[in-house]
Amino acid sequence: MGWHGVHTLSVAVQRVVNVVLPKNGLRGPLPEEIKWMDKLRTLSLQQNAISGPIPPAWSSLTSLTTLDLSSNMLTGPLPARFFDGVKRNRDARDKGAGLRTINLSGNQLWGEIPYTISTLVSLTTLNLTGNAMSQELPEGLFSCTSLKTLRLGQNKFTGPLPKALSKLSSLMVLEAAGNELEGEIPALPTRLVSRWPLWMRRERRRALLLAAYCISPRPSLNLD
């Protein structure tokens, strides 16, 4: 039951569970009042003209599993309080509970990835492509061991890829081209490498230089 793009639990229980409004010409800031939708599971507002920051008060959305705010005009840093607030998935009793998909690509977000992201142990997809995110990748990111897709391209991340990358045993897609990463390439997750064509597995240097799955070449990048 519900209205266009808005779904509720039932006729009798008018609790919003899904808000799916892509390409609706939505403008202005994200309403903080969404925080009261405590049963909200999916929030998809991609390809609109929404601006301003992500409200830290959304930390109360403990039922959220999918957040897609891609291709808008969001600004500001990722609120550490938001990730800390939805940490229900760390202690979830039911399998698969918790925030699983975050797509914030194609915005104007800046700053670092908050250390509190380490609490999202059910997270399978993180897409931050095409923002202005910066600083080094936090070790906490690689505590999200359920990650299958990690897209960080076209930002301003610096430093090396952490050795903890190898802990992401479920990782199948890694994109981090178009940053300012440097240093040695750490051991890559076996599942990720196994998806490469055979010629890429045999010619690791060439594969990485082509940045087919990983990072853009820089003069200071050590691929040995």
Q: What's the predicted TM-score (pTM) here? A: 0.85
125: tokens are 């997809």
User: Rounded to 10 degrees, what is the CA torsion of 152, 155, 156, 158?
Assistant: 10
Domains of the chain: 2-222 (3.80.10.10)
Residue 42 half-sphere exposure toward CB, CA atoms < 13 A:
12
- Residue environment code for 33-54, b if the CB has 16+ CB neighbours within 10 A, otherwise e: ebbebeebbbbbbbbbebeeeb
pLDDT in tens, the chain (224 residues): 344 555 454 444 468 899 999 999 999 999 999 999 989 999 999 999 999 999 999 988 989 999 999 999 999 999 988 887 665 444 544 445 689 999 999 999 999 999 999 989 899 999 999 999 999 999 999 999 999 999 999 999 998 888 898 899 999 888 888 888 887 777 778 887 776 666 555 555 444 544 444 444 333 333 33
Q: Which of 107, 100, 158 minimizes the C-alpha distance to 126?
A: 100
* Contacts (Cβ under 8 Å, ≥6 apart) of 200: 206, 207, 212
